[in-house]
Structure 1
Amino acid sequence: MRQADVVVYGATSAGVCAAVAAARRGLDTVLLEPGRHVGGMTSGGLGYTDIGDARVLGGMAAEFRQAVADAYGVAPGHYAGPEPHVAERIFLSWLERAGVEVVFGAPLGEVVTSGERIVSAGDHAAGVFVDASYEGDLLAAAGVSYRVGREDRALHGESFAGRREVVPGMHNFPPWISPFRADGTLLPQVADGPMAEVGAGDGGVMSYGYRVCMSTAPDRIPFERRPGYDEEHWELGRRLFRHWREQGVEPRAGRLVGLEPNLPNGKCDGNSLGPFSLSVLDRSAWAYPDADPAGRERIRLHHLHHAQDLLYFLSSDPEVPAAVRAELARWGLPADEFADTGHLPHQLYVREARRMLGETHLTEHDLVQGTPWPDTIAMGSYHLDIREVQRTWRYVYEHPDPVPMVVTEGYLSVGVAPYRIPYGAIVPRREECANLVVPVCVSASHVAFSSIRMEVQYQMLGHAAGLAAARAAGSGKAVQDVDVAALQEELRAAGQVLSL
């Protein structure tokens, strides 16, 4: 059994920052990563960094931003973000300089608890643990309460909670597209079963997908037909393009998968844009947070194959407009990214999984109204950004007979002013666990989490979590008893922004 002062589970950007922050204070720190890479989405395809108000960026998020600028010899913010391999290189250099022991290929293993404390996770014991995974696996195994999916509007009185109205918009399907084959069976990529009532909680999570890095470089890897590619799986896309053609709409390739050279060296971060995108909307992600490893792997491969096959479909299918196919032909997968995963990202974009029910639970009201938390450890500013939750169908009652139509539901974007994030949102309830800090699956409602979930916030919360873990491990205190005023002073000294 390896005994450490601090064990961090999950080498996301939050996990890297937490481990480095603790190790810089001289604590023996181990970072456990089930996969083979560090950085999570920051190095796993999400190169285009969503910041919000740059004034709230501080601490290790600002340090990372400066490191990116230094890597390219430009001013901070010159690029929207780094190339994936550059992001990972920066994180690895931080870990090495801080003396963090990184263990790859380290699944969580058995979590042993005693009273309200975690004793060990797998072969690693520690005084304090940090769960920096996107899924919240350590907190769940430790018996900490959590919630998955969107809640009922009545629970917290949130305006934007629960199932959303189906309204027109960039991410919704246009009307009149049928979800059915000629034999009356449902097309692939359309979820069956009724939607919950508007405002009701249904456990639905924001859709997942892969943020695919692409390039126009001469050595790019072309989008190829995958063994197992299913022509019928893409009939819904063909119907969408036929409808646009009939309506005189000429879709641009860049508005389908984000073909903008928004990263250094002419690369782009392929985003999920529009009604038919890299996001998978068939409700398969709803089962992911609580699925076992085999179930998660099936869901991950389902999403990976969707990304591969969408790019091939858009670049080759005769129903796709010729201009779109021609533009896709200029792009491919970069030869110098993700070499060990077929040039596709190593990280599934888990936009939301478990959310802890901690000492303080943030809701829409706290973000919209700007609650002045006295235990503030970081700030957020990105808008409430709930991505699509499902693509399903419903009858529209037209004369003389109802018409079945494909619909997309869940998208929401509402601006908020910069707001404070309290220490109580990253620690469990005292009676549930006294030596765990959680900087990713924070204690927040589905609506509030939709803003907090940005990578820069994870970096700042990871920074705070690492310093808090170090203080608790050094003193033997419960994480709930950490001197928050002293923690805030330490964060301010490291450049963290706690108020504007």
Structure 2
Amino acid sequence: MRKNTCPFLLLLLVINLWSCSGEQKSTTATENSTEYQADIIVYGGTSAAITAAVQAIRMGKSVLVVSPDTHLGGLSSGGLGFTDTGKKEVIGGLAREFYHRIYLHYQNDSSWQWQKKEEYGNKGQGTPAIDGTERTMWIFEPHAAEKVFEDFVKENNIQVFRDEWLNRQSGVKKENGKIVSIQTLSGKTFSGKMFIDATYEGDLMAAAGVSYHVGREASSVYGEEWNGIQVGVLHHGHHFKTNISPYKIPRDSTSGLLPRISAEDPGKRGEADKKVQAYCFRMCLTNHPDNRIPFARPEGYDSTQYELLVRVFNAGWRELFDKFDPVPNRKTDTNNHGPFSTDNIGMNYDYPEASYERRKEIIKEHEVYQKGLMYFMANDPRIPADVQKEFATWGLPKDEFTDNSHWPHQIYVREARRMIGEFVMTEHETLGKKPVPKPIGMGSYTLDSHNIQRYVKPDGYVQNEGDIGVHIAEPYQIAYGSLVPKKEECVNLFVPVCASSSHIAFGSIRMEPVFMILGQSATTAAVQAIDKGITVQEVNYEQLKAQLIKDKQVVNAPKSAL
């Protein structure tokens, strides 16, 4: 027995030493193994997941990315190219490197296939699209962003397991408050010292038994003004500005409600609910005739779903093209705009906690709704002729999302679960009313929530509820405690996307540059916890801060941002 055992142990030792070398960043027992291990396991394929993994490699640790997604980058490569920057000065580290690489991409003449660079203009959100002085570019096409993420992976030799879905029922193994391993539905097991949940949904966090919240807290929970139900608050232009009847026969309540209007009481201002802000797809559209695919009639199309929009147009609304935000090559990042648009209000409430099968159903319903809306506006005779004539010049680009019928591969999960961690970010911290302990990054975007309900007012007319936009005067710091669970719940997990925050604070934190920032900061802390053999809650903040600053992360706003 000894003669057989010793060579086997020696082989394991050789494999272990090999895995710790600078040339190999992950371990597999055999070519066909179903068990894998690394210092850090990142679950997710979002922008935060990739920055987290890159930081691990740069700090000398092994890392595996276990991604339920096939495409990397989440919304950043899924259509959201008109970046919600806020103050660019507080975007540092790997996030800024991402936007620098975008800049380099568009310095190549070959990147301008459908438009001359000088014809593009320089419109951005909060900053010019192209910042030559800082050598950054904040606006981009989906395929350009995906290439940057894939380059990050290739250059750092990061092993990514794609289309691997966490077994949410029994796939998380914990011992003494630590996650030991996670298992996916395919049967693969991933063991590590530290784990990072970088998904939009927070599935690993939930399966690990960490506390979280879904929906809006009552305003009284954290003493906030803008949390809870916000009936009567109309901050943006995404509400009904004129009286429009919600009934099939106008002003006849006995005729029944039009589709996509709730018959339920919306609740009182400040009350809690379990509802989440609307999702949509951030469509990339083009009006270049040689690259345009006309909007097709989707299977399951039902024109009656859009009757409310006809009434909006008939009331004189003409803001349809206000959020056709330009990205290079005569394309757009087209987002929701107006009282009835791409946001599929009220159809996603069960998504955060839903099974994978149910989520697929929700995503498909959103796809049919939004594709149907495009087809309706391009073809239905009830759309005003002037609007329809211009809209008919738009379509899906032939050179984007080529393996998904040119439709975005990522639905915009604006909000799902939010961890209740060591520290909860609230509007008080984001608005500068309270100090932030142990800051590890910064945010600066408006407190922004999309609509959550469409209901009938007491006067018998339709209205939307939940759309909030509160200006932030100065950039704010994000607490380290918002990335980690309470110690009694888990001691080796970071949650940089479904971070610990109230609904309205998350309305600002949920921006893609911030997710990249938090992904990098989470890994930096994970490495220090590994090196010192301590829990994530015990990480020395001053040492963490020093490393973050060394890696060009911004933890204090420069004067130019104030």
Give the TM-score category using the shorter length: over 0.9
Aligned residue in 2 for 1:269: 333
**Aligned match for 1:458, one of 511, 515, 528:** 515
TM-fit CA distance, 1:135: 0.4
Indicate the residue corresponding to 2:227 in structure 1: 161
Which residue number in structure 2 is paired with residue 145 of structure 1? 211
Report the more deviating stretch, 114-123 or 130-139: 114-123
Q: Residue 55 of structure 1 is aligned with which of 89, 101, 110?
A: 89
**What SS does the aligned partner of 2:442 have?**
strand
Q: 1:156–1:252: structure 2 CA closer, same or farther, 3 Å change rule?
A: closer
State the secondary structure of the residue aligned to 1:299: helix
CA distance in 2, matches of 1:146, 1:385: 20
Q: CA deviation at 1:253?
A: 3.4
**Counterparts of 2:415 and 2:221, CA distance in 1:** 19
Structure 1 position 166, deviation (Å): 2.0
After TM superposition, the structure 1 = structure 2 runs for residues 15-414 of structure 1, keeping only pairs within 5 Å, are: 15-73=49-107, 75=132, 79-109=137-167, 110-122=171-183, 123-167=189-233, 170-182=237-249, 184-217=255-288, 218-244=290-316, 249=317, 251-255=318-322, 258-260=323-325, 262-281=326-345, 283-369=346-432, 371-396=434-459, 404-414=460-470
Q: Which amino acid aligns with 1:67?
A: R
Deviation of 1:373 after TM superposition, in Å, equals: 3.0
Letter in 2 for 1:375: K
What amino acid sits opposite 2:414 in the alignment?
R
What is the aligned counterpart of 1:13 among 47, 55, 74?
47
Runs of 4+, deviation exceeding 6 Å: none
Q: Which structure is larger by alpha-carbon Rg, 1 or 2?
A: 2
* 327 and 118 in structure 1: CA distance in 2 versus 1, 3 angstrom threshold: same
Matched AA of 1:221 = I
Contact 1:6–1:473 under 8 Å retained in 2: no
Matched residue of 1:447: which SS?
helix
Paired residue total: 484
CA deviations on 1:86-106 (whole Å, 9 max, x unpaired) are: 101101111111121100010
Cα pair 1:189 1:391 within 8 Å, conserved: yes
CA shift for structure 1 position 482: 1.7
Amino acid at match of 1:427: V
SS of 2:423's equivalent in the other structure is coil
CA contact (8 A) 2:219 2:271 kept: yes
Letter in 1 for 2:161: V
Give the fraction of aligned pairs with identical amino acids, expressed as a percent.
41
Contact 1:5 1:127 in 2 (8 A): yes
Instruction: Determine the C-alpha separation between the residues in 1 that align with 2:248 and 2:154.
Output: 56
The CA deviation at 1:174 is 3.2
CA offset digits 1:291-324 (Å, max 9, x no partner): 1111111111111112211111111111111121
Cα distance change, pair 341–25 in 1 and its aligned pair in 2 (3 A): same
Deviation at 1:32, TM superposition (A): 1.0
**1:2 aligned residue:** 36
Counterparts of 1:487 and 1:294 in 2: how far apart (Å)? Answer: 40
SS of residue matched to 2:349: helix
Q: CA deviation at 1:374?
A: 4.3
Letter in 1 for 2:208: A
Instruction: Tell me by how many angstroms 1:393 deviates.
Output: 1.4
Structure 1 residue 430 displacement after superposition: 0.6
More deviation in 474-483 or 404-413? 474-483
CA distance in 2, matches of 1:8, 1:370: 34
Q: Matched residues in 2 for 1:105 and 1:126: separation? A: 20
- Residue deviations 1:408-459 (CA, integer Å, cap 9, x gap): 0111111111111111110000110000001001110011111111000001
Q: Is the 8 A contact 2:48 2:515 kept in 1?
A: yes
Paired residue type of 1:106 = E
Structure 2 CA distance for partners of 1:274 and 1:357, relative to 1, 3 Å:
same
Give the Å deviation of 1:80: 4.0
Give the SS at the match of 1:379: strand
Letter in 1 for 2:225: S
> Counterparts of 1:79 and 1:214 in 2: how far apart (Å)?
20
- Residue 236 (structure 1) shift: 1.3
Task: For residue 395 of structure 1, report the CA deviation from its aligned partner.
Answer: 2.5
Name the amino acid aligned to 2:324: L
- 1:401 corresponds in structure 2 to none
Q: Deviation per CA, 1:184-238, whole angstroms, max 9, x where unpaired?
A: 2221111231111111011221111100001122121111111211021111112
Determine if contact 1:15/1:462 at 8 Å carries over to the other structure: yes
Question: How far did 1:289 drift?
Answer: 0.5
Find the residue that maps to 1:320 and give its secondary structure.
coil
Paired with 2:206 and 2:137, the residues of 1 have a C-alpha distance of: 38
Q: Deviations over 1:140-167 (max 9, x none)?
A: 0000000011111111110111111324
Deviates more, 1:473-482 or 1:101-110: 473-482
TM-score (structure 1 length as normaliser): 0.94
> SS at 2:305's partner residue?
helix
Residue number in structure 2 paired with 1:400: none
Give 1:399's aligned residue.
none
Distance apart, 1:485 and its partner CA = 1.4
| Alpha-carbon distance in 2 for matches of 1:340, 1:464 | 33
Q: Deviations over 1:355-414 (max 9, x none)?
A: 001011111111112544341110111111111111121221xxxxxxx21110111111
TM-score, normalised relative to structure 2 = 0.84
Please tell me whether the aligned partners of residues 127 and 476 of structure 1 are also in contact (alpha carbons under 8 angstroms).
no
Deviation at 1:120, TM superposition (A): 1.1
Mapped contact 1:60–1:460 kept (Cα < 8 A): yes
Amino acid at match of 1:466: T
Counterpart amino acid of residue 139 in structure 1: M
SS of 2:431 mapped into structure 1:
helix
* 1:340 CA drift (Å): 1.2
Contact 1:79 1:263 in 2 (8 A): no
| Structure 2 stretches lacking a partner, 5+ long | 1-34, 108-129, 184-188, 558-562
> How far apart in 2 are the matches of 1:388 and 1:476?
45
Q: Is the 8 A contact 1:209 1:278 kept in 2?
A: yes
Q: Which amino acid aligns with 1:92?
A: E
Query: Which protein, 1 or 2, shows the higher relative CO under an 8 Å CA cutoff with sep ≥ 6?
Result: 1
- In the other structure, the counterpart of 2:25 is none
